[in-house]
């Protein structure tokens, strides 16, 4: 379980889990799950286009992730954001299908961007991941307070000098950076599960932002580590375990929240008689 290729998997999985746990907190808080679904999947088209012209797929992935996030963030301000997100997603997927159809050879590397290759991470991929992951965390720390205010209290944010529209663009770019960090390792499908499952479970348990972020990171680490170990033992796909563990954590978080709510109701003092 700790062979050289597995060590790379543990390191890569840890980086992805930390980034997904932190950024996923904002995804859940802002109700931006559809955007978190669209950006990783749409960025696949950029990787396909990069392969077509002979460029590193990571470059195409980054360009389309940032471009898609900016387009959705800007156009979503003046129209229904779900419509803009859906149209941007299908447009990028259509471009991906076009790029793949024009390619003279099938690229397993592009296919891996959808489903991940966490057990096949090379040592050369670790450094770019660490750099992009660190950039995501630094940006999150710098803009944490204004993004938290614009997400939780958008009507009060302008009075505090925070522009919600600007924070939407910053959030989109942060999501694009996290996508570029994680998709080459876990794939677009699993990245979406990590951005939504563990953070949602954490939000059920606690409403305090710092505590929720910490718990989200812990649950994301548990998800990734358990999935890698189970995939190694059973020889089943890592993706199955990531989605299954995320779903179990979500259900457990929701059950915990319901239990806490029932206990609070029982402990509440009875109303005084008239």
pLDDT tens track for 23-60: 999 999 888 888 888 888 888 788 878 878 888 778 88
Task: Determine what percent of the chain is predicted with pLDDT higher than 70.
Answer: 87
Residue 12: closest CA among 224, 243, 227: 224
Check residue 118 and give its pLDDT: 74
Give the pLDDT band of residue 93 (cuts 50, 70, 90). Answer: confident
**Res 137 pLDDT > 80:** yes
Segment of 67-71, 124-128, 195-199, 259-263 carrying the highest mean pLDDT: 195-199
The mean pLDDT value for 11-16 works out to 88
- Residue 134 is given by DSSP the state H
Check residue 245 and give its pLDDT: 92
CB half-sphere exposure, 21, CA atoms < 13 A: 26
Helices (H), the chain: 4-30, 33-53, 57-75, 81-102, 108-115, 126-142, 144-152, 164-205, 209-234, 238-267
pLDDT digits (tens, 9 = 90+) for 189-244: 778 888 999 999 999 998 899 999 999 999 999 999 998 888 888 888 787 888 89
Q: Helices 164-205 and 126-142 meet at what angle, rounded to 10? A: 100
Which residues, in sequence order, are CB contacts of 72 under 8 Å at separation 6+? 35, 38, 39, 81, 84, 85, 88, 172
Give the pLDDT band of residue 109 (cuts 50, 70, 90). Answer: low
Check residue 105 and give its pLDDT: 56
Task: Determine what percent of the chain is predicted with pLDDT higher than 90.
Answer: 20
Residue ranges of the domains in the chain?
Answer: 4-189
Q: Helices 144-152 and 126-142 meet at what angle, rounded to 10? A: 60
Check residue 269 and give its pLDDT: 61
| CB distance 36 to 50 below 8 Å | no
**172 three-class SS:** helix
Angle, CA of 76, 80 and 83, to the nearest 5°: 90
Radius of gyration of the chain (CA): 20
| CB distance 88 to 72 below 8 Å | yes
| C-alpha to C-alpha distance for 24 and 109, rounded to whole angstroms | 26
Check residue 251 and give its pLDDT: 92
CATH superfamily of 4-189: ABC transporter involved in vitamin B12 uptake, BtuC (1.10.3470.10)
Residue 234: closest CA among 58, 72, 21, 1: 1
| CB distance 84 to 34 below 8 Å | no
**Entry pTM:** 0.85
Average pLDDT, rounded, for the chain: 83
């Amino acid at each position: 379980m700790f062979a050289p290729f597995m060590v790379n998997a543990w390191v890569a999985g840890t980086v992805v889990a930390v980034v997904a746990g932190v950024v996923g907190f904002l995804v859940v808080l802002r109700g931006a799950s559809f955007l978190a679904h669209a950006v990783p999947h749409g960025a696949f088209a950029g990787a396909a286009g990069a392969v077509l012209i002979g460029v590193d797929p990571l470059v195409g992935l980054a360009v389309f992730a940032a471009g898609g996030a900016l387009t959705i963030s800007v156009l979503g301000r003046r129209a229904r954001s779900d419509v803009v997100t859906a149209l941007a997603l299908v447009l990028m997927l259509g471009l991906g299908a076009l790029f793949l159809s024009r390619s003279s050879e099938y690229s397993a590397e592009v296919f891996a961007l959808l489903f991940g290759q966490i057990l096949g991470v090379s040592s050369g991929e670790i450094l770019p991941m660490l750099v992009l992951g660190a950039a995501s965390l630094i940006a999150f720390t710098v803009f944490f307070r204004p993004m938290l205010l614009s997400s939780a209290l958008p009507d009060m944010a302008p009075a505090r000098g925070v522009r919600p529209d600007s924070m939407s663009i910053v959030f989109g770019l942060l999501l694009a950076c996290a996508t570029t960090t994680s998709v080459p390792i876990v794939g677009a499908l699993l990245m979406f599960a990590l951005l939504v499952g563990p953070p949602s479970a954490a939000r059920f348990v606690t409403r305090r932002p710092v505590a929720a972020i910490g718990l989200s990171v812990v649950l994301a680490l548990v998800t990734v580590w358990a999935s890698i170990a189970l995939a190694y033992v059973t020889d089943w796909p890592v993706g199955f375990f990531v989605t299954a563990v995320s779903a179990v954590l979500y259900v457990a978080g929701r059950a915990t929240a319901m239990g806490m709510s029932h206990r609070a109701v029982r402990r509440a003092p009875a109303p005084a008689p008239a």
